[in-house]
Chains A and B, each alone.
Chain A
Amino acid sequence: MTAPLPTLQEARRALDSDETSSLELVSNSLDRAASIGSRLNLFLGTRDEAAMTAAEASDARRAAGEVRSPLDGIPVAIKDNMVQAGEPTTCASRILEGFISPYTSTVVERLEAAGAVIIGRTNMDEFAMGSSTEHSISGPAHNPWNPERSTGGSSGGSAGAVSARIVPGALGSDTGGSVRQPASFSGVVGLKPTYGRVSRWGLVAYASSLDQIGVFARSAADAAWLLEAISGHDPLDSTSLPEPAPHCSEALDGDVSGLVIGLPREYFVEEGVDPRVLARVREAVGELERAGAKVRDVSLPHTDSAIATYYLIATAEASSNLARFDGVRYGRRAQGTEDLTDMYQRTRSEGFGTEVKRRILLGTYVLSAGYYDAYYRKAQRVRTLLRRDFEEAFQGCDVIATPTAPEVAFGIGSKTSDPLRMYLSDVYTVSANLAGIPGISIPCGFVEGLPVGLQLLGPPLDEPALLRVADAYQRRTDHHSQCPAEFA
């Protein structure tokens, strides 16, 4: 097996001192994607030739003293719901079989402009609908820490690829926790930025008012580099915020003295959560206290309503967004159909998997005449209350600390027969999407050999604070440096 990939910072140093080349890094990355990646089912496709060519170009730039950014020459992976011109995008769905994108997403364009080398597309829950990366046309992704366990989802392939040292960094998308929860399960850093911080142009839409592209890496410092590369205003996305990309790296000085961490009491009730997970999270908060941070009780009183609110709004938006998959302009079309309606119905019924159909049905139902006010409108009103909860809580603290997930990685197949139980996996993560605020999950220890995630939430646009706290924690601990023995 080829050498495990270094972190982004390590790779940059090795490139700058000519101890390695982009070609070597990318070729190691592709080798590991083919061996480990295949075994754990983390990738839906790699672009070996294009990646090697891009690596050679990067090496030429370095030789000429024209390095574009810290990411120049470094291999990264993208979730298979971000398009790149001339490459397939499947969203792990049968309905997009054979689709080749005619254009490139803003995030991919920015990564490439920074010199990063995209090696392939990672496994995910179909159309990002799921919490386990099991609802995929190519079958479940396996957790590098224990292949019988889930990577989490829906960006499980990206989380697993960073965890198994196949790439130093990867992109995912987070609609209700789909970056943070798999980061927690896979023992890596996962950052969901503020809604609008990163352009969604070229991200296949699931729930447009909640979707946000995020990053996976092994340290807060690495995550900061990736975020800086992909964020900032984009005229092609009308919901993209006007603010320029944040200078997060400058915030990483290890100093958290006087910073106030809020602990929402509703997240620390010992019900529906593994007490050992809560214990690891409390230990992590204790570590930050020793580093000089202050801890305060806060309240997010509408927490109990978050999952219901999320699943009503997300499915409503999904039912509308997924109407575009109709077999007319792209994707797979059912053959031998009688008329247009029959073609639509058979194309969609053959093309979508069960979880996607379930969410389209739920979304269509809650938007349909007679139910709109009782379900969808009601959920939008509760969403306002959830936003206010955070606004009030941040009056009294700088960041909020919670567990990322109520448990460590669950067994593959253990929740697929019970959709509602699966939905409850997102209990700690959905609120950030509903409120539009940034969140990060960082490794904070282990339970029975499986990683636990600490979630930090911040006010809108305060990714620098989240990364500062995460970095300070990582300077004092080594949980984030742990690697599944087999892949070290």
Chain B
Amino acid sequence: MAHITRDEVERVAALARLSLTDEEAERMADELDRILEFVQVLEQVDTEDVEPTSHVMPLRTPLREDRAAESLDPELALANAPAREGTAFVVPKVIEAEEEG
């Protein structure tokens, strides 16, 4: 594991749908590099045969009765929309398919 380059920062920013200024990208590369260097401390820890923890409590999938219940009123759900039309959220035109999922 090693250094994060500015190109990589920009690739990751694109994945996260963030656009960075040149100055931001430069600074982030530097800061993330130092953070990634710091987390290398974990390489010293022997985790052979150790199961990963994604959740501390035993997770069940609770089931509810199969009965219709009230949900959020469409007017309320749309009340915060930056742009809406009827019962839909309006977004800028999607001219071509997104390049990746």
Q: Tell me if A387 counts as interface (CB < 8 A to partner B).
A: yes
Query: Are the C-beta atoms of A385 and B9 separated by less than 8 Å?
Result: no
Query: Are the C-beta atoms of B52 and A365 separated by less than 8 Å?
Result: no
Q: Name the residue on B nearest A363 (C-beta).
A: B16
Among A12-20, A71-79, A335-343, the stretch in contact with B:
A335-343
Q: Name the residue on B nearest A302 (C-beta).
A: B45
Query: Are the C-beta atoms of B12 and A365 separated by less than 8 Å?
Result: yes
Taking a contact as CB atoms closer than 8 A, the residue among A241, A312, A345, A362 that contacts B19 in the complex is: A345
Query: Are the C-beta atoms of B34 and A384 separated by less than 8 Å?
Result: no
Taking a contact as CB atoms closer than 8 A, the residue among B12, B45, B56 that contacts A361 in the complex is: B12
Taking a contact as CB atoms closer than 8 A, the residue among A103, A305, A333, A365 that contacts B41 in the complex is: A305
Residue with the greatest number of chain A CB neighbours at <10 A, chosen from B4, B73, B92: B92
Name the A residues within 8 Å of B89 (CB-CB). Answer: 328-329
Query: Are the C-beta atoms of A384 and B50 separated by less than 8 Å?
Result: yes
* Distance (whole angstroms) from the CB of B49 to the closest CB of chain A: 9
* Distance (whole angstroms) from the CB of A446 to the closest CB of chain B: 32
Name the A residues within 8 Å of B16 (CB-CB). Answer: 319, 323, 348, 360-361, 364
* Distance (whole angstroms) from the CB of B62 to the closest CB of chain A: 6
Cα of A312 to Cα of B59 in the assembled complex, Å: 22
Name the A residues within 8 Å of B79 (CB-CB). Answer: 100, 102
Report if A387-B82 is in contact (Cβ < 8 Å); known contacts: A102-B76, A339-B94. no
Report if A100-B41 is in contact (Cβ < 8 Å); known contacts: A349-B20, A368-B12, A374-B1. no
B residues 60-98 near A (Cβ < 8 Å) are 61-62, 64, 72-73, 76-77, 79-83, 89, 91-95, 98
Query: Are the C-beta atoms of B17 and A382 separated by less than 8 Å?
Result: no
Q: Tell me if A449 counts as interface (CB < 8 A to partner B).
A: no
Name the A residues within 8 Å of B93 (CB-CB). Answer: 339-340
Name the B residues within 8 Å of A375 (CB-CB). Answer: 1, 39
Q: Tell me if A214 counts as interface (CB < 8 A to partner B).
A: no
Q: Tell me if A357 counts as interface (CB < 8 A to partner B).
A: yes
Cα of A316 to Cα of B51 in the assembled complex, Å: 18
Report if A195-B56 is in contact (Cβ < 8 Å); known contacts: A312-B39, A333-B83, A337-B92. yes
Binary interface profile of A, 321-360, with partner B (CB < 8 Å = 1, else 0)?
A: 0010011111111000111111111101100101001101
Q: Tell me if A435 counts as interface (CB < 8 A to partner B).
A: yes
Taking a contact as CB atoms closer than 8 A, the residue among A305, A341, A352 that contacts B98 in the complex is: A341
| Majority-rule SS of A interface residues | helix
A residues 405-450 near B (Cβ < 8 Å) are 419-420, 423, 434-436
Report if A361-B17 is in contact (Cβ < 8 Å); known contacts: A102-B79, A196-B57, A380-B53. no
Cα of A339 to Cα of B16 in the assembled complex, Å: 16
Query: Are the C-beta atoms of A346 and B19 separated by less than 8 Å?
Result: yes
Taking a contact as CB atoms closer than 8 A, the residue among B43, B52, B82, B98 that contacts A377 in the complex is: B52
Query: Are the C-beta atoms of B56 and A420 separated by less than 8 Å?
Result: no
Query: Are the C-beta atoms of A385 and B82 separated by less than 8 Å?
Result: no
Cα of A157 to Cα of B3 in the assembled complex, Å: 37
Name the B residues within 8 Å of A238 (CB-CB). Answer: 59, 61-62
Query: Are the C-beta atoms of B32 and A365 separated by less than 8 Å?
Result: yes
Across chains A and B, the number of contacting residue pairs, with CB separation under 8 Å, is 168
Q: Name the residue on A nearest B64 (C-beta).
A: A235
Q: Name the residue on B nearest A374 (C-beta).
A: B1
Name the A residues within 8 Å of B43 (CB-CB). Answer: 378
Q: Tell me if A209 counts as interface (CB < 8 A to partner B).
A: yes
* Distance (whole angstroms) from the CB of B64 to the closest CB of chain A: 7
* Distance (whole angstroms) from the CB of A376 to the closest CB of chain B: 9
Cα of A375 to Cα of B28 in the assembled complex, Å: 18
Q: Name the residue on B nearest A317 (C-beta).
A: B54
Cα of A423 to Cα of B36 in the assembled complex, Å: 13
Report if A420-B32 is in contact (Cβ < 8 Å); known contacts: A241-B57, A436-B56, A436-B57. no
Q: Tell me if A239 counts as interface (CB < 8 A to partner B).
A: yes
* Distance (whole angstroms) from the CB of B67 to the closest CB of chain A: 13
Binary interface profile of A, 296-329, with partner B (CB < 8 Å = 1, else 0)?
A: 0000001011011101100000010001001111
Query: Are the C-beta atoms of A305 and B45 separated by less than 8 Å?
Result: yes
Report if A102-B77 is in contact (Cβ < 8 Å); known contacts: A196-B57, A305-B45, A361-B13. yes
B residues 8-59 near A (Cβ < 8 Å) are 8-9, 12-13, 15-20, 24, 28, 31-32, 34-36, 38-43, 45, 47, 50-57, 59
Query: Are the C-beta atoms of A368 and B15 separated by less than 8 Å?
Result: yes
Residue with the greatest number of chain A CB neighbours at <10 A, chosen from B9, B12, B72: B12
Cα of A100 to Cα of B75 in the assembled complex, Å: 13
Query: Are the C-beta atoms of A304 and B53 separated by less than 8 Å?
Result: no
Q: Name the residue on A nearest B4 (C-beta).
A: A365
Residue with the greatest number of chain A CB neighbours at <10 A, chosen from B42, B54, B73, B98: B42
Q: Tell me if A32 counts as interface (CB < 8 A to partner B).
A: no
Cα of A196 to Cα of B80 in the assembled complex, Å: 30
Query: Are the C-beta atoms of A330 and B18 separated by less than 8 Å?
Result: no
Name the A residues within 8 Å of B15 (CB-CB). Answer: 364, 368
Which residues of B are in contact with A by a Cβ distance under 8 Å?
1, 4, 8-9, 12-13, 15-20, 24, 28, 31-32, 34-36, 38-43, 45, 47, 50-57, 59, 61-62, 64, 72-73, 76-77, 79-83, 89, 91-95, 98
Known contacts A361-B9, A384-B50; 7 further A-B pairs (Cβ under 8 A): A308-B41, A308-B42, A311-B39, A340-B91, A357-B24, A378-B43, A385-B45
